Structure 1
Amino acid sequence: MDVKYLNYIITIAKKKNMTKAAEELYVSQSSLSQYVSKLEQELGTPLFLRAKGELVLTPAGILYVNAAQKVIAIQKELYQDIGELDLRGHITIGVTSQFSLEMLTEIIPRFKADYPKITIEITETNIPTLVSLIAEENVDFGIAALNTTSAFSHEQVDILRNEEIFLAVPVDHPYCKINPGPTVSLQDLNAYFGDDNWLLSKKASSLRYVSDNVFHLSGLYPKAMCETNSITTTRSMVAMGIGVTFLAESCASARDKIVYYSLEPKQYRMNVLIRRKNWTLNSWETKLYHYIRDYFSSCSV
């Protein structure tokens, strides 16, 4: 039962603007306008009128939106009732960070012991793609490291924790003799690391956002950079003395070869769980959600 197009009209009615609705739905404005025109021709009456720069529902539009909301609610209830018959189902999860995979590795065996017939599909991707997958309702929820949640509505997002970002330096780096830890100031960052090879995450990642912000605050402009999206590779290169980087708390391992400095002022990213819109959790989805919440409640904040 595809209710995607019903959501089109509901979103236009909520935003009262075709451009804003298209942005939220991740479709082109022309495609959205064409769909509305085709639907209005089929119904033989307009659903929207323009008044004072806004799109407002006509009486027919009000009837259509009310009916669309009822159909979507019926679909949710039907799918949940069918799934609950024999506890069979399918959950799709999008993840963007190593901490997400490590967390799921610990949680899924316990969850499968409770619900052996539930299939879990995991998609590892980047932040822009995850935003699109959730907006298009192609995944049930995402677990990600973000710097902002502005792409989502408030009811979609649970902030699981604020995760600190550290400066990661090879243990034999000259700075480690000057300052064995545990903090590094922005002034020291500028004074002692300008000539280092910086191993940075690629653009659009949460770590790169923090890295660029720290560079801006400190006035440091690295002379040498290497970009990669593999945290494992980056950490290994630091341990081998190839360069320095910023790593999140969940990735701060190999402490016999790497010194981790807390930045002054401290820097954080958010670990979040993002639900697709209009998702009403059934029993096993609720169970998985609580496993995730419990996992993070035991983590340091």
Structure 2
Amino acid sequence: MDTRYLTYILTIAKKENMTKAAEELFVSQSTLSQYLSKLESELGTPLFYRSKGRLTLTPAGTLYIEAAEKVMSIKNVLYQNIQNIENRGHITVGVTSQFGLAMLTDIIPAFKVQYPDIIIEISETNLPGLTRMILEESIDCGIMAMNETDPFSPDQVTILREEEVLFSIPINHPYRKKNPDRPIGIREFAENFGEENILLSKKGSTLRHLTDMVLENAGWIPSTVCETNSISTTRSMVAMGIGVTFISESCAADREHVAYYSVEPKLTRLNTLVTRKNWIQSQASRCFCNAIKNYFH
């Protein structure tokens, strides 16, 4: 049951602003405006009053929102009832990072013993993509690495842990003689690695956000840059001496060929479980989410 467009109108009503609604939904403002105009044309009446950038509900808009909320509620109850039939069901979960895949590898076998007829569908994608899927309610939950919990509401987010992000260099790099193991200060980067090829994660990722922040604060302008969306590829390139990079603690492997340093001040990101709004969970889905929440404890 595709309720994405109902979510569009509900979000516009909540934000009372087209730009803010588009940002929360991760769609363009023009796409959102075009859909609203088309819907109002079909209905033959405006759903919102427009006044100085603020959108407020007309009487027709109030009726539409009430109906949309009822449809969302009916959908959720229906899905829960279907899932509860003989403990059968379907849980869709997205992951943005290697720690999420490792977690699911540990959790799923025990879960399947208890709920053998539950199908778990895993989607691996980037942070902007998974954020959009959760906001559109096209996926049940996400195991995500985040810098901050926006645009989700507090009741959607469980912070699993704070994970350190490390700086990695080839094990035979000359800097190792100067500093075998102490944390690297922000001001040291430009002096010691200014001529290095820096390996960057794609725009929109937590690692890219932190890397860009370090580059700016350190006044570090790398001589060459390489972008990749694969952590394992990036780590292998560091091991081969192709460049340096920032990498999360959970992916800090191959220590025979790669040296890892803490950064001062410490760099961290959040490991989180995010659930979609209006997800009325079955006993099985609650058990699944609890296993994720308790994983690091």
Q: Do the two structures share a fold, i.e. TM-score over 0.5?
A: yes
Q: Is the 8 A contact 1:182 1:260 kept in 2?
A: no
Partner of 2:12: 12
Say whether the 8 Å CA contact 1:19–1:29 is kept in structure 2: no
Residue of structure 1 equivalent to 2:164: 164
Corresponding pairs, count: 293
* Partners of 2:94 and 2:130 within 8 A in 1: yes
1:274 maps to a residue whose letter is V
1:11–1:211 distance in 2 versus 1, CA, 3 Å: closer
Aligned to 2:92: 92
Q: What secondary structure is seen at the aligned counterpart in 1 of 2:273?
A: strand
Whether 2:52 is the aligned partner of 1:29: answer no
1:247 alignment partner in structure 2? 247
Structure 1 CA distance for aligned equivalents of residues 56 and 91 of structure 2:
37
Contact 2:134–2:141 (Cα < 8 Å) also in 1: yes
Q: Which runs of 5+ in 2 are unaligned?
A: none
- Per-residue deviation at 1:214? 0.9
Deviation sequence 1:85-119 (CA, Å, 0-9, x none): 21111111121111111111111111111111111
Contact 2:158 2:293 in 1 (8 A): no
Deviations 1:129-181 (A, max 9, x none): 22222222221112221222223233322222211111112222111111111
Q: Percent of pairs identical after alignment?
A: 55
Look up the match of 2:176.
Answer: 176
Cα contact 1:22–1:29 (8 A) shared by 2: no
Moved more, 103-112 or 24-33: 24-33
Distance 1:84 1:199, change over 3 A: same
2:243 maps to a residue whose letter is G
Superposed displacement of residue 277, structure 1 = 2.2
Q: Considering only aligned residues, what root-mean-square deviation do their CA atoms show, in Å?
A: 2.2
1:117-132 to structure 2, matched below 5 A, reads: 117-132=117-132
Instruction: Report the residue type matching 1:29 in the other structure.
Output: S
2:42 to 28, 38, 42: 38
Shift of 1:46: 5.2
Partner Cα separation in structure 2 for residue 3 and residue 187 of structure 1: 50
Counterpart of 1:268? Answer: 268
Q: CA-to-partner distance for each residue in 1:3-58, whole Å, 9 max, x for gaps?
A: 4444344333322334444444434211122113323x3xxx65444467643334
- 1:55 and 1:202 map into 2 onto residues whose CA distance is 35
Q: What's the counterpart of residue 281 of structure 1?
A: 281
Read off the aligned partner of 1:268 and give its amino acid letter.
T
TM-score, normalization by structure 1? 0.88
> Does the aligned pair in 2 maintain the 1:22–1:32 contact within 8 Å?
no
3-state SS, counterpart of residue 246 of structure 1: strand
> Aligned equivalents of 2:150 and 2:116: distance in 1?
36
Q: 2: CA distance between counterparts of 1:281 and 1:104?
A: 19
Q: In the alignment, which residue of structure 2 is the partner of 1:116?
A: 116
Structure 1: runs of 5+ lacking an equivalent: none
CA 1:106/1:8 → structure 2, altered by over 3 Å: closer, same or farther? same
| Equivalent position of 2:196 in the other structure | 196
